[in-house]
Amino acid sequence: MTLSASLNGAEQRRPSRLGRMLEDRLPYLIVAPAILILLLVGLFPLIYSLIVSFQRITMTENDTSFVGFLNYAELFRDARLWAALGHTAIITAIALPLELLIGFLMAQLFIDRMPGRQLFVALLVLPTVISPIVAGATWRLMFDIRFGPIGEILSFIAGEPVRILWTVNPAYVYPAIVICEVWQWSPFMFLLLLAALSNVDQSQLEAAEIDGASYLRVLRAIVLPAIAPVVAVACLIRGLDLVRIFDIIWALTEGGPGSRTETISLYTYVQGFSQFETSYTAAISFLVIALLTLITTLVLKRMELAR
Amino acid sequence: MKFRTILGAAAVLALAGASAPAADKDAADIAVDAAKKYAGTTISIVWEAGLQSLDPLNYSGPQWEKLTGIKVKVIEVPTDQMFTKIMQDFKSGAGAYDALNVIPSWMPDLARAGALEPLDKYVDKFGYRDELQDIAAAYRDNQMQYDGKIFGFPDDGDVMLLYYRKDIFEDPKVKEEFKAKFGYELAPPKDWKQFDEIGQFITDKMAPKVYGAGFFRTAPYPQYMFQERFRMEGGKFFNADTMKATVNGDVGLKVFKEMKAENKFMPPGVEQWNFVDNLAAFLQGTTAMTISWPPYGRWAAGYGSGEEALKWVPKSQVAGKVGYALTPLGRPELGVGFDLSVSATSKNKEAAYLFIQWLNSKKTSLERVQLPYTLRDPFRLSHYASEKYRGLWPDAPAYLDTIKTSGEKGLLDLSLLQQDKYDEAMTKAISSLWAGEDPKAILDRMAQQFDAITDKVGIDNQKAVYKVWAAKPGAYPQ
Amino acid sequence: MRVGKLPARKARILALRYLGAGVVTLLFLFPVYWLFMISFKTPDEIYHVPPLWIPGQIQFSNYYVLFKDGDVLAILNSLIVAGASSGIAIVLGTLCAYSLARFGTGGENLAMWIISQRMIPPIAVVFPIFLIYVYFGLVDGYFGLILIYTAFNLPYVIWMMRGYIVDVPLELEESALVDGLNRWEVIWKIVFPMVRAGLMATSVFTFVFAWNDFLFALVLTRTEVITFPVMLTHYFGGQSNFWGKIAAMSVLGTLPIFVAVSVMQRYLVRGISLGAVKG
């Protein structure tokens, strides 16, 4: 069953009992509560933000007159903003595939029965559960050149002292962030894929095994198509979350050195939270939403076409 | 100075006829008496989360309730969120905060936005003018008012001190060797050249057990050290007429280069050090010199080491071995500080005011700065002179005297409109310095950012504020 | 698969799998181990050069302090808020997902709108939401936080569960309908159990997202409902770093989820499915 097929609506069977009225309205009834809550909390703030983005509200000014696209024009002149978007793109492009790959490998490792699996799985979820703030702070301590074990371990492996200033040296800041991020979120992919793999049709797999199909063949022909819907959504969700990455970077580098690791959410935070540029922040937010919508739509369209 | 005129007038009025309480009772008692009529109410105060809020949570809050019947709700907020939460509360009209802790450099922005309640009328009503005079001039004259009106009471004597290892500096063998090599007596450095020489000397001799010095090098504090050194070497932040930033001239470059070069004789990884890393290194005896605020001095002496609240402080291996001095070139940066204020949207303004008057009063503040777990440093003349404080540990008298002198010679933090944006630019520039970027390029970029900020604020607006700030004796060394 | 009677090849593979599992677990758990150790270390041990791999002694004073000072209440608050919002989001979201998957309700537009909620940078909406909450008196209360977390988790639940539901063969539902069940019963008795694995996986993370949220918890609370992440940030001072408390609190904070996942994870993996699909 493909995503697009389901999107185009499956057949409905006329029930033999219960009023047709209720049945007919059921799809809408069960959608309603969720949508209601989303509207409540999603609509007003967005409209408010949109209006504000056309005003000039800053820390000290409360100018609610319409200033047109002033804030948006400024977006294009803001080099720091575009640098932030670039940094975000880099991190997302590197971390997402890594998380997917590692998560998949881990899921393959644990999908079949083995005694003690319960414990392994529960333990492996821990990194995701730890607050990102603490994860970032812990890795910072671990990367520390004097108090941290990473330097020791690397020195041991290399056979000579390894002295890397992970959070200061521009060459190593991104690896540090990606390591921490992938460490924390691969278990997410792992768990999701585990659930998806467990739903793969057993009988098909057994049939393939009897036929003597190679592992890779089985993977490509049976497993991947079956888990594709879940993988797609997982990547989408995780991708969107990566774009909003904040806590880990804040704890590791606070966007430094300089502004080198400043992602879009850090920049927005500094603008909106520390410096109260309410209107400008609103404009940035809509730019981000627009970009993300564009990317997501493109990606979804390509997924549809691939079917 | 305008303040003195007001003071003079108020003094005359007070003498002239106030059937006022002032004469026999001190400000603390006056506050308590006046507050009793609010017994049963609750006032909230925003305080820095963590160690700082132990003061109102464990000591001053309960005390106040006992004396007046007013409950104190402490709203703990991490420092980097404080400004935001105060602003958000103000702008939303929620009015959930009564009293506030405010960092002085935020005062122009907060006062201009209308978030702070002007306090002059309360000061006069409750006879607080006298005790305000007792606050050390550095804080009283620079961290209390904006635009001629009182918006907060300085409550923390933040100033940078040079801490050094007396035992090393007074060791005869070391002294002899040093004199032989450099031709002058080993003593706390009087300038940065001496600092380099002493630092390198100690590192050469004693590393890796002891290094010459260590500093905190990561955000958000190193920019205060830059502010100090830059000005002491003759630098000016802006051209007062055009308001163009002049931080990227020769002086700026010199300071940046020196700062980078110093890391050479500091422990490896110093570029990553924050306040606590630096503290740990000094307390463990790894660094022979460091520069920081007064708490280092107390903790290094082991004061409060048994306290539960200070358990996170590494054990001091250097108790009794620490000397205190002015920073090189003799005019230390004040650096941060805290004021007590009242929120303009509070629903209990008078009660909130009375609480902060009581907190800040001579009597109560003396107790508060002596709490073993406090981060509030002595800030009143009466604190420096207090026999009780001077008896807290053997070197306490030297400690207090150094703080007093440092305050007198202190340099003010740059405090303009949207100051946090300038601070951010400086912080980012310094972190780029450690990353190995070319100092000139960094400074040029920083100057550009400064100019962009000034443009956004409005050159004329900023020019006026800068003029006022630069005219203060503590702004630029004369 | 009974271990005792495995042919040599299978036994070798199993051994390799254990090796792999061991290595992976070691790598992933090392930082957790480090954090765990910090909760027992004294400050001198934390800042020790070279780093200490094992603390001098196991002492629980950091944990004790958390209980004594009542900081542990933050964990309770987070449990309530994350648990409630998770539960509500799962139920409402899965129902919604079913409707999208089987009926194509609202078509692509609705689905896109739902996922676009997750594209909104929280910063953009946190202040307006704060304003609404001030107006309705929802600040610093459980209901307000539960509401916002539910809202933020719904898109995730809807999209994830739609993916899992789509994997459930239509024939199962159709035969049930033919058997006389109405749609509502089909959802609860057939579909929900079939997507149990997906439900478990999804609910773990809706819980985690709500549990770890910092921004909304910070802005929308003051003193009454302090959640776990906010409590944690109190320990990171500009001039103090309560590493002992940070570590101990973090360890305590991972326990609820650790327990929950241990209990639930048997539904995640092969072995317990509702019978072969086609037979």
Distance to chain B for A145, nearest Cα, Å: 6
Q: Is the same domain home to A166 and A117? A: yes
- Residue that is last in its domain, among A40, A63, A86: A63
- What's the token pair of residue B28? 């603390």
Nearest CA in chain A to B80: A274
How many Cα atoms within 13 Å fall on the side-chain side of residue C157?
Answer: 32
pLDDT tens digits for range C145-200: 999 999 989 998 998 888 888 888 888 888 888 888 877 888 888 888 888 888 88
> Quick one: B40 exposed, middle or buried, by C-beta within 10 A (0-12, 13-18, 19+)?
exposed
The alpha carbon of residue B105 is apart from the nearest alpha carbon of chain A, in Å, by 14
Contact B290, B160 (CB under 8 A): no
Whether residue C244 lies within 8 A of chain B, CB to CB, comes out as yes
Q: Report whether A199 contacts C197 (CB < 8 A).
A: yes
DSSP B403-471: HHHHHHTPBPPP--TTHHHHHHHHHHHHHHHHTT--HHHHHHHHHHHHHHHHHHH-HHHHHHHHHHHHH
The band of C274, judged by pLDDT with boundaries at 50, 70 and 90, is: very low
pLDDT at C177: 84
Residues A263 and A219 in one domain: yes
Tens digits of residue pLDDT in A106-157? 988 888 777 888 788 888 888 988 888 888 888 988 888 888 888 888 888 8
Residues of B in contact with C127 (CB under 8 A): 88, 92
CA–CA gap between residue B395 and residue B304 (Å, rounded) = 15
Q: Is residue A151 part of a domain?
A: yes
Give chain A's domain count. Answer: 2
CB B238 within 8 A of CB B416: no
- Domain shared by A45 and A118, yes or no: no
**Per-position pLDDT tens, chain B of length 478:** 455 555 544 555 545 444 444 456 889 999 999 999 999 999 999 999 988 999 999 999 999 999 999 999 999 998 888 988 898 899 888 889 999 999 998 898 899 889 999 999 999 999 999 999 999 999 999 999 998 999 999 999 999 999 999 999 999 999 999 999 999 999 999 999 999 999 999 999 998 899 999 999 987 899 999 999 999 999 999 999 999 999 999 999 999 999 999 999 999 889 888 898 899 999 999 999 999 999 999 999 989 888 888 888 888 999 999 999 999 999 999 988 999 999 999 999 999 999 999 999 999 999 999 999 899 999 999 999 999 999 999 999 999 999 999 999 999 999 998 888 899 999 999 999 998 899 999 999 999 999 999 998 889 999 999 999 999 988 999 7
For position A196, which CATH number holds? 1.10.3720.10
Q: Please, are residues B252 and B230 in contact by the beta-carbon 8 Å criterion?
A: yes
Q: Identify which of B47, B28, B53 has the alpha carbon closest to the alpha carbon of residue B371.
A: B53
Contacts of A75 (CB under 8 A, 6+ apart): A81, A283, A284, A287
- Arithmetic mean of pLDDT over chain C: 83
Indicate the residue type of A274.
Answer: S
SS (H, E, C) chain A: CCHHHHHCCCCCCCCCCCCHHHHHHHHHHHHHHHHHHHHHHHHHHHHHHHHHHCCEECCCCEECCCCCCHHHHHHHHCHHHHHHHHHHHHHHHHHHHHHHHHHHHHHHHHCCCCCCHHHHHHHHHHHHHCCHHHHHHHHHHHHCCCCCHHHHHHHHHHCCCCCCCCCCCHHHHHHHHHHHHHHHHHHHHHHHHHHHHHCCCHHHHHHHHHHCCCHHHHHHHHHHHHHHHHHHHHHHHHHHHHHCCCHHHHHHCCCCCCCCCCCHHHHHHHHHHHCCCHHHHHHHHHHHHHHHHHHHHHHHHHHHHHC
Which chain B residues touch A280 with a CB distance below 8 Å? none
pLDDT in tens, C210-219: 998 888 998 8
- In residues, how long is chain B? 478
Token pair, residue A99, equals 């998380």
Contact call for residues B129 and B437 (beta carbons, < 8 A) = no
A112, A158: one domain: yes
Q: Lowest-confidence range among A189-193, C76-80, C180-184?
A: C180-184
- Residue at A7 is within a domain: no
CB-CB neighbours of B191 under 10 Å: 12
A300 in the same domain as A164: yes
Half-sphere exposure of C122 (CA within 13 A, CB side): 24
Residue-range definition of the domain harbouring residue A202: 72-306
pLDDT in tens, C92-112: 999 899 888 888 877 778 888
Q: Nearest by CB to B431, from A145, A256, A270: name it.
A: A256
Q: Quick one: CA dihedral C82, C84, C85, C90, positive or negative? A: positive
Same domain, A180 and A81: yes
| CA proximity to B211, closest of B144, B265, B133 | B265
Q: Which of B85, B209, B74 is nearest to C130 (CA)?
A: B85
pTM beyond 0.90: the answer is no
Please tell me if residue C159 touches chain A, with a CB cutoff of 8 Å: yes
Q: What is the pLDDT of residue A34?
A: 87
pLDDT at res. C275:
31
The verdict on residue A4 lying in a domain is no
Supply the pLDDT for residue B217. Answer: 92
Looking at residues A205-211, what average pLDDT do you find? 80
**Nearest residue to B124 (alpha-carbon basis) of B212, B14, B277, B280:** B14
Phi and psi at A62, nearest 5°, equal -130, 40
Exposed, middle or buried: residue C51 (CB in 10 Å: 0-12, 13-18, 19+)? buried
Q: Is B84 on the interface with A (CB under 8 A)?
A: yes
Closest to A113 measured CA to CA, from C14, B428, C159:
C14
Q: For residues B243 and B454, is the Cβ–Cβ distance under 8 A?
A: yes
- The CA dihedral of A289, A295, A300, A302, to the nearest 10 degrees, is 170
Count of other CB atoms within 10 angstroms of residue A303:
17
Q: Is B252 helix (H, G, I), strand (E, B) or coil?
A: helix
Shortest distance between the Cα of C119 and any Cα of chain A, in A, equals 6
**Which pLDDT does position A200 carry in this prediction?**
79
How many other C-beta atoms can be found within 10 angstroms of the C-beta atom of residue A184? 25
Total beta-carbon pairs less than 8 A apart between chain B and chain C: 86
The residue from A22, A42, A63 where one domain ends is A63
DSSP-based three-state secondary structure for B229: helix
* Per-residue pLDDT band at A296 (split at 50, 70, 90): confident
Within-domain flag for A1: no
Pair (A220, A265) in one structural domain: yes
Q: How far apart are the first and last CA of chain C?
A: 21
Q: Calculate mean pLDDT across residues C31-48.
A: 87
Return the structure tokens found at C133. Answer: 């909450």
- Quote the pLDDT of residue C48: 83
Task: Judge if A90 and A47 occupy the same domain.
Answer: no
Q: Look at residue B174 in the predicted model and tell me its pLDDT.
A: 94
pLDDT in tens, B366-411: 999 999 989 999 999 999 999 999 999 999 999 999 999 999 999 9
User: Residue B365: which H helix or E strand, with range?
Assistant: helix B362-370
With 90 as the cut, is the pLDDT of residue A244 above it?
no
What residue has token string 């380099």? Answer: B196
d(CA C173, CA C190): 7
Q: Does C43 touch chain B (CB under 8 A)?
A: yes
CA–CA gap between residue C177 and residue A18 (Å, rounded): 12
Which listed CATH number (3.40.50.300, 2.60.40.10, 3.30.70.270, 3.40.190.10) goes with B22-157+335-397?
Answer: 3.40.190.10
Tokens read off for B284:
């463990």
Q: Which residues have CB under 8 Å from B149's CB, separation 6+?
A: B111, B118, B119, B120
Q: What residues of C are in contact with residue B48 (Cβ under 8 Å)? A: 237-238
Residue A234 lies in a domain: yes
Residue A144 and residue A38 share a domain: no
CA distance to partner chain A, nearest, from residue B461 (Å):
13
Do residues A56 and A82 both lie within one domain? Answer: no
Would you state the torsion angle of the CA atoms of residues C46, C49, C51, C53, taken in this order, to the nearest 10 degrees?
A: -80
pLDDT at B321: 94
Q: Which of B88, B275, B276 sits opposite C130 (nearest CB)?
A: B88
Chain center to CA of C182: 33
Can you read off the two tokens belonging to residue A239? 């991708």
Distance CA C89, CA C82 (A): 10
Top residue of B103, B105, B272, B418 to mutate, by most chain A CBs within 10 Å, is B272
Q: What is the pLDDT of residue B216?
A: 93
Q: Which residues of B touch A260 (CB under 8 A)?
A: 435
Is it the case that residue C272 has pLDDT exceeding 50? no
Are A123 and A50 in a shared domain? no
Segment A8-32, tens digit of pLDDT: 444 444 445 555 666 677 778 888 8
Contact assignment for C129 to A45 by CB distance below 8 Å = yes
* B277 close to C (CB below 8 A): yes
Amino acid (1-letter code) at residue B261:
A
Same domain, A161 and A288: yes
SS3 B175: helix
Assigned domain for A26 exists = yes
Taking the domains of chain B in order of start, what are their residue ranges? 22-157+335-397
